[in-house]
């Protein structure tokens, strides 16, 4: 048998090591260990040993989880790089699904987004056994996604729970419900942003490590979603004219350049310029001048549809891109009719918007943005020279 003093010396070494490790990791306080050490004697040795090994088991479990996560560090790192560079939610969702599929069983998968205070949850991405399903909206109620949002806690079903109502049914009706399910709420800045869910048809498919990993992935995804939406918002603002809500000159150049590079069909460019904005500004002030520009823009909006887009190019100069060979005169007459019925009233005086208009056509009058714009500008100048309030077509 081992000598009693040797055994106690060994226990002392284990005890001191355990105390250092556990205290650093917040497992026990120094006061707790002092109390235990004061009880160190032959009568309490078994109890102390039980406590030590219990703590060692917990530390061992934690180390195994850390090792498991560390083994997936490279995949997580690569995924973080993808998230930081992706500016499309659809691409981000697909990459997330592929990423999750690499590290855990993923027969079914979905991402649900949520705004604090809303009564509905959006599910923009949902896939089951490789088949993608359309996005859906579900109510904030008693479903699992709602419970994860309300409680802010992970819901983990480890085995088949036939009869439960899952928030989203995936796959064919005769396939049955998934057996193992993780519903992980994603919380950023103390706000629930949504839920990420991985599901498997096998029972007991997930461990604690999978919960932690899905939580890490979910945080990366929803942080990227916020960045994408912020970028889209900023981009949209950068493309709009604040006064008229029409697209601006930057959007005009991008749109027309894209159309020319992607299409061989006829594109028509209408350039409009006000005839009397300077006189209105000089006489009534710039506030009335802004109203004048808004009415001018509103007239353009009356002809806009999926094939016609209006832009405030600069000052009182406006552009209209027509993505077809349709007749321009009916469009021009509709705009003019709007101005006739929407004068600006100042006291007893009425101001009517008047425009000079030039029209050019791609590729007949130019095969680049600049050439097409120059042709329309030349026609507009002719309209002004001839007295304004008229339309001239490039010949």
Strand partners, 268: 322, 361
Tell me, yes or no, whether 190 and 256 share the same domain. Answer: no
Residue 249 has pLDDT above 90, yes or no: yes
User: CA–CA separation, 243 vs 236, rounded Å?
Assistant: 14
Domain count, the chain: 3
Q: What is the pTM of this model?
A: 0.59
Residue 121 has pLDDT above 60, yes or no: yes
Tell me, yes or no, whether 171 and 90 share the same domain. Answer: yes
User: CA–CA separation, 139 vs 153, rounded Å?
Assistant: 19
User: CA–CA separation, 388 vs 378, rounded Å?
Assistant: 13
Question: Residue 262 has what pLDDT?
Answer: 86
331's CB contacts (< 8 A; 6+ apart) are 270, 303, 308, 320, 322
Question: Residue 12 has what pLDDT?
Answer: 65
Tell me, yes or no, whether 231 and 89 share the same domain. Answer: yes
* pLDDT 10s digits, 132-176: 999 999 899 888 899 999 999 999 987 655 444 444 444 334 445
Q: Helix, strand, or coil here: 212?
A: helix
101 located within any domain? yes
* pLDDT 10s digits, 261-299: 987 889 999 999 999 999 999 999 999 999 999 999 999
Strand partners, 272: 318, 357
Tell me, yes or no, whether 232 and 256 share the same domain. Answer: no
103 located within any domain? yes
Question: Residue 2 has what pLDDT?
Answer: 46
Instruction: Give the mean pLDDT of 171-182.
Output: 64
Find the domain containing 53 and state its range: 4-71
Residue 97 has pLDDT above 90, yes or no: yes
Residue 364 has pLDDT above 90, yes or no: yes
Question: Residue 169 has what pLDDT?
Answer: 40
Question: Residue 203 has what pLDDT?
Answer: 87
Tell me, yes or no, whether 173 and 297 share the same domain. Answer: no
- Asked if 67 and 61 count as a contact pair (C-beta separation under 8 A), the reply is no
Q: Helix, strand, or coil here: 126?
A: strand
Q: Which residue has the higher pLDDT, 379 or 166?
A: 379
80's CB contacts (< 8 A; 6+ apart) are 220
242 located within any domain? no
Which one of 205, 236, 267 terminates a domain? 236
Q: What is the DSSP letter of 325?
A: -
Q: What is the DSSP letter of 362?
A: E
- Asked if 196 and 217 count as a contact pair (C-beta separation under 8 A), the reply is yes
From residue 85, give the alpha-carbon distance in Å to each of 79, 113, 213, 231, 284.
Answer: 10, 20, 21, 12, 50
Instruction: Give the mean pLDDT of 171-196.
Output: 81
CB atoms within 10 A of CB 43: 8
Report the chain's mean pLDDT, rounded to a whole number.
84
Question: Residue 142 has what pLDDT?
Answer: 83
Q: Which residue has the higher pLDDT, 60 or 389?
A: 389
Residue 196 has pLDDT above 70, yes or no: yes
Nearest partner of 303 among 275, 288, 324, judged by Cα: 324
User: CA–CA separation, 134 vs 119, rounded Å?
Assistant: 20
- The CATH number of the domain holding residue 254 is 3.30.70.270
Q: Helix, strand, or coil here: 202?
A: coil
Tell me, yes or no, whether 65 and 129 share the same domain. Answer: no
Query: pLDDT band at residue 232, thresholds of 50, 70 and 90?
Result: confident
Tell me, yes or no, whether 256 and 231 share the same domain. Answer: no
Instruction: Give the mean pLDDT of 368-379.
Output: 96
Nearest partner of 114 among 183, 171, 216, 199, judged by Cα: 183
* pLDDT 10s digits, 5-56: 555 655 666 666 656 655 555 555 555 555 555 555 555 556 666 666 677 6
User: CA–CA separation, 381 vs 70, rounded Å?
Assistant: 69
Which own/partner pairs from 234-242 qualify as long-range (CB within 8 Å, at least 24 positions apart)?
241/297, 241/311, 241/312
């Amino acid at each position: 048998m081992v000598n009693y003093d040797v055994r106690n010396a060994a226990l002392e070494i284990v005890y001191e090591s355990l105390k250092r490790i556990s205290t650093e990791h917040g497992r026990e306080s120094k006061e707790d260990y002092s109390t235990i050490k004061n009880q160190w004697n032959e009568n309490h040795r078994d109890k102390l040993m039980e406590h030590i090994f219990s703590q060692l088991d917990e530390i061992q479990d934690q180390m195994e989880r850390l090792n498991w996560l560390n083994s997936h560090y490279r995949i997580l790192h690569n995924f973080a790089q993808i998230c930081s560079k992706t500016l499309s939610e659809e691409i981000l969702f697909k990459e997330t699904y592929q990423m999750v599929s690499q590290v855990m069983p993923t027969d079914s998968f979905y991402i649900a987004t949520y705004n604090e205070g809303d009564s509905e949850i959006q599910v923009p991405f949902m896939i089951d056994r490789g088949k993608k399903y359309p996005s859906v909206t579900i109510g904030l109620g008693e479903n699992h996604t709602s419970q994860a949002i309300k409680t802010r806690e992970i819901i983990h079903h480890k085995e088949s729970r036939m009869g439960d109502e899952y928030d989203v049914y995936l796959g064919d009706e005769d396939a049955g419900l998934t057996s193992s399910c993780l519903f992980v709420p994603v919380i950023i800045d103390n706000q629930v942003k949504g839920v990420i869910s991985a599901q498997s048809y096998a029972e007991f498919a997930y461990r604690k490590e999978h919960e932690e990993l899905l939580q890490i992935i979910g945080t990366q995804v929803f942080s990227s979603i916020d960045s994408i939406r912020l970028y889209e918002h900023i981009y949209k603002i950068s493309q709009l004219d604040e006064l008229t809500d029409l697209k601006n000159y930057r959007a005009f150049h991008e749109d027309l350049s894209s159309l020319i590079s992607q299409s061989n069909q006829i594109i028509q460019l209408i350039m409009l310029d006000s005839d009397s904005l300077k006189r209105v500004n000089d006489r009534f002030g710039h506030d009335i001048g802004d109203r004048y520009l808004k009415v001018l823009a509103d007239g353009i909006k009356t002809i806009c549809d999926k094939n016609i887009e209006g832009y405030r190019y600069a000052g009182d100069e406006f552009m209209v891109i027509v993505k077809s060979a349709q007749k321009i005169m009916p469009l021009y007459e509709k705009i003019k009719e709007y101005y006739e019925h929407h004068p600006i009233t100042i006291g007893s005086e009425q101001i009517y918007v008047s425009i000079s208009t030039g029209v050019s056509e791609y590729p007949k009058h130019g095969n680049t943005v600049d050439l097409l714009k120059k042709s329309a500008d030349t026609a507009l100048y002719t309209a002004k020279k001839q007295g304004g309030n008229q339309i001239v077509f490039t010949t």
